[in-house]
Amino acid sequence: MSNQETFVPLNSNFDWSKDTIDEPETNIFTKGSSIIEWTTSNVYVLGENGSKLPIYFELAEQNLWGVSGIWPFGTPKEDQSNGKLEGFQHCYPLTSTKTVGKPTKAERITHERFHKMWDITVDAIKCFSEYRKVPAPTYSAYATAKEEND
């Protein structure tokens, strides 16, 4: 394992207390007369000397489909070439059609990991919303959920 990343095998326990989430960062670009904004936060594991290491999780083996390219946000269709690709996205099923009624152990572990990632995301939204570090729509959704105890 490299000291520049953290790989979490499927059969290991990950110490979720070591994750850290960067402050939200708003990105902006203009398309025509429209200004488009989106806000993200990077998630890392703290390494030696406080270094931030990307996390890679092994997931249950599945058949994938729906592979599509990712280009810089706002790249016009005609400019989406292989040389400008930033990555790929795909559809990942949590079970196979054969195991949907009774997921395998690996599928259950994968499902639990996604739920933990969701929980960490919600906790970060709560924290960042309390300090008004998120866009107004995110804060509004948070305030409504908090008011409704949801």
Which residues face 8 on adjacent strands? 57
Q: In the chain, what are the helix, strand and coil shares in percent, each to the nearest 5?
A: 35, 25, 40
> Is residue 10 over pLDDT 80?
yes
pLDDT in tens, 80-90: 999 999 999 98
Is residue 87 situated within a structural domain? no
Q: Is residue 147 part of a domain?
A: no
Measured distance CA(147)–CA(150) in Å, rounded? 8
- Residue 18's domain comprises 6-61+95-141
Q: What is the pLDDT of residue 120?
A: 93
**Whole-number pLDDT of residue 52:** 93
Whether residue 147 has pLDDT greater than 90? yes
Tokens of 19: 């994750």
In a domain, 117, yes or no: yes
In a domain, 122, yes or no: yes
Number of domains in the chain: 1
Question: pLDDT tens-digit profile of 14-64?
Answer: 989 889 999 999 988 887 898 888 899 999 998 888 899 999 999 999 998
Residue 39 lies in a domain: yes
Question: Is the residue at 76 inside a domain?
Answer: no
